[in-house]
């Protein structure tokens, strides 16, 4: 039976363990396959923060002097009880990373990494692999990763590539492995790879570097590849091999489903990529979470589902986890019921993320969102009554929106300023494979063969430039909205937002 080493590459937010490799490791180990994991993203942050910050300005000197105390603070709930202290600490850590990046001509932050190679051009990523020794993380590859591969001697190495900010470093890592361990076969998977493979532009440009690319859940294809024969499958919960992250306790990520149970929103990537919906049986979810909470004693559970299903919400309300939790949910009749929301809060729910997108009913209908603003009114009020925070997502610039629609969204937001805890504001990108992409005049959005989005001539003249002007000069400047935006945790955003629920400060 073959062995597999799973790697999560730099750089992405470093506040909880990577769920993909944990889920795969738990499954494969249950089938008797040797499957160690390494969170190279966590190691990468530790490596960067150990480098010299040569800036001599007052801010940089202070940030460097207080770095260890700030890192310790981010591991302490007390640090989060004062938002100004938290913001200052996060800004100081980011200052160190930014200075290190600048010294190498790169953009580096707590949430992003960008070097000279474009993440949407396959030729650039091939160059990143060829010139792997120039990558900022090469010393990490050549020491800790090298030693781990030597120790484990895997037949395969699987790399989980999920974000554009990981792409260049992922291919530098692949180049390093190919050059140093040429006999080891490389498997590439993860969210970004899934999107690439399901794009109409995909031409498999990495065939000489990568032995196999996998789209979607990797359990079945990996088992076929690694096992000599497939016996009766054993159920397994994820296995997290590290719990040390930039958070005041262990945040346990868990996916009860893949895809989206609604799967009708017109411009959603899930729809454009035709990702099928699949869910773990509710009883198995509850069993997994009992096992994982006993094993790790998490501070917080993070449901990764595109939307937690109504059936799972009911089960959670009836079977309290004993641990605070949060995740995405659709505005539905259950959440409009104040009594149910109170039961959900008693079950541990501290925050729900709601993809509202627009405060204009006509725009919502055109997007096939399947929600009514009168229902959203009730949902926001019920969640507020139950002391459940809301993180509301708004999307500007869809084909059906114009400035008048955007201003109705602004009016809706202002009218719900007391119920909205946090806001995420985004400008619409047309998915390349979206149903309306072929009907609108298209322009290049990213100049690259790996681009997932395309620009378009807005049918109502509501251009990206006009939208950005509206957001910066009108929307964000309104006092009611500005107050909400200022509450958003910098860099970590929704990943740290639930930590500011009063229940955590009451424990300090």
Q: Which tens digit of pLDDT belongs to each residue from 239-285?
A: 999 888 999 999 999 999 988 888 778 777 776 677 788 899 999 99
- State whether the Cα torsion 54-56-60-66 is positive or negative: positive
Joined tokens for residue 203: 């031409």
| pLDDT for 230 | 61
Residues 132 and 261 occupy one common structural domain = no
Residues 158 and 255 occupy one common structural domain = no
Integer angstrom CA distances of residue 455 from 137, 288, 461, 465, 486: 33, 42, 13, 12, 30
* C-beta of residue 26 within 8 angstroms of C-beta of residue 218: no
| pLDDT for 201 | 84
Residues 201 and 274 occupy one common structural domain = no
Asked if residue 239 belongs to a domain, the reply is no
Domain of residue 372, CATH code: 3.20.20.70
Q: What rounded mean pLDDT belongs to the chain? A: 93
> Count of alpha carbons within 13 Å of 273, Cβ hemisphere only?
23
Asked if residue 325 belongs to a domain, the reply is yes
pLDDT for residue 91 is more than 90: yes
Asked if residue 238 belongs to a domain, the reply is no
The pLDDT confidence band at residue 231, using thresholds 50, 70 and 90, is low
Q: What percent of the chain has pLDDT over 70?
A: 95
Number of domains in the chain: 2
Q: Alpha-carbon Rg of the chain, whole angstroms?
A: 23
| pLDDT for 49 | 95
Q: Last residue of some domain: 233, 264, 288? A: 233
Residues 285 and 425 occupy one common structural domain = yes
| pLDDT for 263 | 77
What are the φ and ψ backbone dihedral angles of 443, each rounded to 5 degrees?
Answer: -130, 160
Q: Last residue of some domain: 175, 204, 233? A: 233
Three-state secondary structure of 130-145: HCHHHCCCHHHHHHHH
The pLDDT confidence band at residue 508, using thresholds 50, 70 and 90, is very low
Residues 203 and 336 occupy one common structural domain = no
Structural domain harbouring 494: 251-505
Task: Supply the pTM of this predicted model.
Answer: 0.95
Tell me the average pLDDT across 126-148: 98
The pLDDT confidence band at residue 507, using thresholds 50, 70 and 90, is low
Pairing of strands 107-108, 113-114: antiparallel
For 163-215, write each residue's pLDDT tens digit.
999 999 999 999 999 999 999 999 999 999 999 999 888 999 999 999 999 99
Residues 323 and 406 occupy one common structural domain = yes
Q: How far apart are CA 314 and CA 8, in angstroms?
A: 33
Residues 197 and 275 occupy one common structural domain = no
Tell me the average pLDDT across 2-10: 97
Instruction: Tell me what percent of the chain is helix, strand and coil, each rounded to the nearest 5.
Output: 45, 15, 40
Residues 194 and 311 occupy one common structural domain = no
Q: How far apart are CA 496 and CA 79, in angstroms?
A: 12
């Amino acid at each position: 039976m073959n062995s597999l080493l799973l790697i999560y590459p730099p750089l992405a937010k470093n506040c909880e363990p990577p769920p993909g490799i944990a889920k795969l490791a738990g499954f494969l180990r249950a089938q008797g396959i040797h499957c160690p994991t390494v969170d190279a993203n966590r190691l990468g942050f530790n490596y960067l923060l150990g480098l010299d910050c040569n800036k001599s300005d007052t801010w940089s000197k202070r940030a460097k002097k207080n770095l260890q105390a700030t890192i310790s603070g981010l591991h302490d709930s007390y640090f989060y009880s004062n938002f100004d202290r938290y913001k200052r600490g996060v800004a100081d850590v980011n200052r160190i990373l930014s200075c290190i990046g600048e010294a190498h001509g790169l953009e580096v932050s707590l949430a992003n990494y960008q070097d000279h190679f474009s993440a949407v051009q396959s030729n650039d990523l091939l160059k990143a692999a060829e010139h792997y020794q120039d990558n900022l993380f090469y010393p990490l590859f050549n020491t800790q990763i090298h030693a781990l591969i030597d120790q484990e001697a895997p037949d395969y190495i699987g790399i989980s590539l999920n974000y554009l900010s990981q792409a260049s470093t992922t291919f530098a890592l692949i180049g390093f492995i190919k050059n140093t361990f040429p006999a080891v076969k490389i498997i590439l998977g993860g969210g970004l790879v899934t999107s690439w493979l399901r794009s109409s532009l995909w031409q498999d440009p990495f065939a000489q570097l990568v032995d196999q690319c996998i789209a979607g859940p990797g359990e079945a294809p990996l088992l076929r590849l690694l096992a000599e024969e497939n016996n009766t499958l054993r159920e397994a919960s994820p296995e997290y091999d590290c719990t040390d992250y930039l958070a005041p306790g262990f945040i346990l990520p868990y996916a009860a489903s893949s895809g989206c149970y609604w799967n009708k929103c017109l411009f959603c990537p899930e729809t454009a990529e035709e990702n099928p919906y699949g869910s773990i049986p509710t009883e198995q979810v509850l069993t997994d979470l009992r096992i994982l909470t006993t094993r790790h004693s998490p501070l917080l559970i993070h449901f990764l589902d595109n939307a937690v299903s109504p059936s799972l919400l009911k089960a959670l309300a009836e079977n309290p986890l004993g641990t605070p939790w949060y995740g995405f949910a659709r505005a539905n009749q259950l959440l409009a019921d104040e009594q149910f929301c109170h039961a959900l809060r008693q079950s541990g729910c501290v925050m729900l993320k709601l993809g509202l997108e627009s405060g204009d009913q006509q725009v919502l209908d055109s997007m096939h969102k399947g929600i009514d603003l009168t229902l959203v009114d009730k949902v926001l009020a019920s969640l507020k009554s139950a002391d459940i925070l809301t993180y509301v997502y708004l999307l500007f610039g869809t084909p059906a929106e114009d400035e008048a629609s955007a201003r109705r969204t602004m009016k809706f937001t202002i009218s719900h300023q007391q119920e909205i805890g946090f806001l995420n504001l985004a400008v619409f990108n047309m998915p390349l494979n979206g149903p309306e992409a072929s009907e609108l005049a298209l322009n290049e959005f990213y100049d690259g063969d790996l681009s997932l989005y395309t620009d378009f001539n807005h049918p109502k003249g509501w251009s990206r430039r006009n939208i950005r002007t509206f957001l910066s000069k009108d929307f964000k400047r309104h006092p009611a909205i500005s107050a909400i935006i200022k509450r958003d945790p910098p860099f970590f955003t929704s990943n740290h937002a639930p930590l500011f629920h009063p229940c955590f400060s009451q424990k300090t």
